[in-house]
Each structure stands twice: as structure tokens, then as C-alpha cells.
Amino acid sequence: MVQRIQKIIGQAGICSRRKAEKLILENRVFINQRVAKIGEKADIKMDKIRIDNYIIPNKLTSKVVLLNKPPGIISSCNDNLGRKTVLDLIPTDIREGMYPVGRLDMYSRGALLITNNGLLTYQLTHPKYEHKKTYRVLISGIISNKSIELWQNGVMIDGKKTNKANVIIKKQYKNRSLLEIVISEGRNRQIRKISEKLGLRVIDLIRIKIANIELGDLHEGSWRELNSNEWQNLLK
């Protein structure tokens, strides 16, 4: 099937389409030994598409890994400051072409999917598909019913109101509250920013579920490869 070159790169799980466009503008992408241009089309089954020295396979076997990300690890393929990334936690023999689906900020932990399937990445990160993500969040203080209601109905952050959420108090301590939060969008540091807006402080944040994929008893820093039945259900 003939597709725009940046779409082919994105679907291969190498990087986002925006990053792919940057690679093309830097003359690092080739179609059959010639430099590719923005907007140019190709057929992955017929054409040889190369980024630097890496040739995109014309028959890609989809791999999806569930990682329990520890705090202090960067949700990226590489880091300019040399910090450890999530790809460093999976074996080198399955790492090529893999890309984290969405992000958990450096200090958050829990379920993170890593894949080479661009369509899966797109559908899990695009808000129109409304894939739910579940978090356990420990905050300072006792959260009020008014704050829960505000959170559930949407809060203005970065000039835009958040989608409706489900917020449940799981446990209350003397000066802390443990919440379970279900959201269907993944804006940058969303839970932390909402907490700050409501005068709360996040002590610990762990993602325990992405759509139907549960973290379960997977140890922190460990990973497992999902079978096709598990991740195929995520495609809508």
C-alpha cells in the first residue's frame, strides 16, 4: 500500500510523524538509495526505506512489551543528558524499532507499553479513542468532596479544560489520601498539574492499568511481552 513516507516511519514505531518529518528535512531518510522529500509516498512492500543505516523491515512482526517503570527513568528512546531510559530496561535483542507509548514523567512509575506497532501507538495516545488509564495516587492532606467534584468534572490546566474523570478515595490516613483516578486522556503531567491547581501535592503516582492491560504483580523494573490476544483488543 502506497503511503506518505512519514506515516510509514510512524507506523514502524521508530518515532512520531513529526519527528519523522524532521528526519526527512535533515536528509537522513532514503527511498531506494535516494534522499526522500516531505510528502513523498512509498510502498513498504516494494521500496527499500532507510533511516541513516537502519532499513525498515518490509514485513514487521509486532511486539508489545508491558514495563513496570521505576521512578527516575526517562520515558524516551534516548536522553541528551545521558539519563537511563525505559529502553535500557528491556533486552537489546528486542529493543530495535521499539518506542514507548505515551509517557510517564520521570518521577512517576507503573504500567508503560513499549511497541514497534505505530497504529497501536497512535490509537492509544490519540484522545478520540478514549482508552482509559487507571492510576493510584497518594496525595498530601485530606481531599474534600468539592475538590473531587471539580476534578471529576474537569479542571482548566494550560488553558484547556480536562476531560471528565473518575476519582475515588481508596484510603485516608491522618494527613494523606490514597486516590484511584481513571482518565481517558494523557496530557503532560496532567494529574500533578490538577493536584497543584486544587492545592494538593502528589507524593506518589503509579499507573496500574492501561485500557484492559493490568500491571498486576509485575515487579518494578521488570517487563513482559504481551501476547497478540492481549494487545489486539486495544485496536479499535
Q: How far is it, in rounded angstroms, from Cα 26 to Cα 127?
A: 30
Of the ranges 20-34, 121-135, 178-192, which one carries the lowest mean pLDDT score? 121-135
**Residue 49, φ and ψ in degrees, nearest 5:** -110, 125
Which of the four pLDDT bands, split at 50, 70 and 90, describes residue 192?
A: very high
Q: What is the DSSP string of 53-87?
A: TEEPPSS----EEEEEEPTT-BSSS--TT---BGG
What does the pLDDT read at residue 216? 93
**Contact between residue 104 and residue 68 where contact means Cβ atoms under 8 Å apart:** no
- Whether residue 75 is predicted with pLDDT greater than 70 in this model: the reply is yes
Catalytic residues: 105
Instruction: Provide the pLDDT for residue 194.
Output: 95
Query: What span, in angstroms and rounded, lies between the C-alpha atoms of 120 and 131?
Result: 11
Range with lowest mean pLDDT among 4-13, 95-104, 165-174, 217-226: 4-13
The position carrying cell 521505576 is: 70
* Burial per residue of 60-87, b for 16 or more beta-carbon CB atoms within 10 angstroms, e otherwise: eeebbbbbbbbeebbbebeeeeeeeebb
Q: How far is CA 227 from CA 10, 63, 79, in A?
A: 22, 9, 29
Q: Which residue ranges form the domains of the chain, and what is each CATH number?
A: 2-55 (3.10.290.10), 64-127+216-232 (3.30.70.580), 132-210 (3.30.70.1560)
The pLDDT value recorded for residue 79 is 84
pLDDT band for position 130 (50/70/90)?
Answer: confident
Give the distance, in angstroms, between the CA of residue 209 and the centroid of all CA atoms in the same chain. 12
pLDDT band for position 232 (50/70/90)? confident
The 10s digit of each residue's pLDDT in 193-211 is 999 999 999 999 999 999 9
Residue 114 banded pLDDT, cuts 50, 70, 90:
very high
Of residues 55 and 106, the one with the higher pLDDT is 106
pTM of the model: 0.76
- Give residue-wise pLDDT tens across range 78-113: 888 889 999 999 999 888 888 899 889 999 999 999
- Please say if the pLDDT value at position 34 is more than 70: yes
Looking at residues 6-31, what average pLDDT do you find? 83
Would the pLDDT of 185 be above 80? yes
Kindly state the cell numbers that stand for 202. Answer: 502528589
The predicted structure's pLDDT at residue 37:
93
